[in-house]
Copies of this chain bind each other. A is one copy, B any other.
Amino acid sequence: MWTGRPVGELPSPAFTVDLDTAKRNAEKMRDRCKALGVVLRPHMKTHKTLEGGSLMTGGTLRKIVVSTLAEGRFFANGGFDDILYAYPLPFDKVEECAALAERLDAFHVLVDSHAALSLLKKRPLSHGKRWKVWLKIDCENHRAGLRHSDPAALELAKAIAEGATKLTGIYAHCGNSYSCHGASEIQAVARTTTALTLKFMDQLKEAGVSCSICSIGSTPSCSHPVPEMAQLSEVHPGNFLFYDAQQMMIGSCQLEDIAVRVLTRVIGHYPHRNQMLVDCGWTGLSLHSLGQLPTGYALVEGHPNLKLVGMTQEHGRIEPVAGKLDFAQFPLGSLLALIPYHACATAAMHPVYYVHSEGRVVTTWKPVRGW
């Protein structure tokens, strides 16, 4: 119903995706991986849409990563295959994983414990199919995974490689790249994660454990890859389709690479407190910047002197960074474009994304939600 209409007519708040920018981001990442000689297995968690997945895979609909089983089902039903559920195997979802593993060419699961592995061993797949299992290792990111240097990691890898399960890949997430500032800090993290992952692969080889794939990822590291990453088989960044203010501040992208906005309208003028209200609260943006940007909870496109100082459920409060607000410049009903701090979090608040090109809506995307 919105197709063909100017973006400025959209009901607000609206989550918009600049299709040309998103396409360019997807192509750049594919080119970067091609030049490096590694397979790109993009992560779907930021956008959670079939269309975004198609752009990221260059239309192949093969080799993706998902963060929830709901995404796994959604992408499988949407024609995708070779799906890695890169999440410590949840004990309540083994049967559903088995159904996907039996139905798809390749539905990979991930473990970092013997307890999880034993659930897989206890539930062999039909027709003698072996579970494709990845081992998650922790290369200084300190979230999930067995530490790369922990002998238990090698032991678990060996156990995975036996019987009803097959050791398909080694997975490391360099989420610690999110605390970097600038390409050289990002590259230092990428270099360390790569080196530790490759060292682990060498240990596997020495131990006679067969494993063909190793993958690291994060949008910062894959936006500034180091040459050593050429020795990996895969990378798995996700945010890069959209990018956001956080990625810009980390140094992963430039302002012009950010494909998403939240459109919002001015709904109130309050000159006595030098403030205006807009129709975007935390249901439209999330609280993810924690207000720590110099411009508060978001960047207001084209208005560096505006600061989104606070949000309640459906209201945003905007003040000037300095001086008096020129209310005549922002009449009631006028439109502002907020550049989100964290695109994953902002996208998660919207049941529909309005996708535009050259100022007009070209389509809408509907993300999957839940688990």
Chain A residues touching B, majority SS: loop
A370-B351 contact, Cβ under 8 Å, with A11-B92, A143-B277, A333-B115: yes
> By the criterion CB–CB under 8 Å, are A143 and B349 in contact?
no
Q: Within 8 Å CB of A315, what residues of B? A: 143-144
Q: Within 8 Å CB of A317, what residues of B? A: 143
A277-B12 contact, Cβ under 8 Å, with A113-B268, A116-B332, A268-B144: no
Task: From A9, A142, A268, A348, name the one whose CB has the most chain B CB atoms within 10 angstroms.
Answer: A268
Q: Within 8 Å CB of A284, what residues of B? A: 371
Interface residues of A in 44-68 (CB under 8 A from B): 45, 67-68
Q: Within 8 Å CB of A273, what residues of B? A: 142
- Report the separation of the CA atoms of residues A287 and B348 in the bound assembly, to the nearest whole angstrom: 13
Q: Within 8 Å CB of A272, what residues of B? A: 147, 150
A11-B93 contact, Cβ under 8 Å, with A313-B67, A351-B370: yes
> By the criterion CB–CB under 8 Å, are A344 and B313 in contact?
yes
| Count of identical protomers in the assembly | 2
> By the criterion CB–CB under 8 Å, are B91 and A332 in contact?
yes
- Report the separation of the CA atoms of residues A352 and B371 in the bound assembly, to the nearest whole angstrom: 11
> By the criterion CB–CB under 8 Å, are A143 and B68 in contact?
no
Asked whether any CB of chain B lies closer than 8 Å to the CB of A31, the reply is: no
Interface residues of A in 299-326 (CB under 8 A from B): 312-315, 317
- Report the separation of the CA atoms of residues A326 and B9 in the bound assembly, to the nearest whole angstrom: 56
> By the criterion CB–CB under 8 Å, are A371 and B13 in contact?
yes
Interface residues of A in 138-193 (CB under 8 A from B): 142-144, 147, 150, 175
A90 touches which of B12, B90, B116, B144 (Cβ 8 Å)? B12
Asked whether any CB of chain B lies closer than 8 Å to the CB of A2, the reply is: no
Q: Mark A260-290, 1 if CB is under 8 A from B, else 0.
A: 0000010111001100010100111011101
Minimal Cβ-Cβ distance residue in B for A288: B287
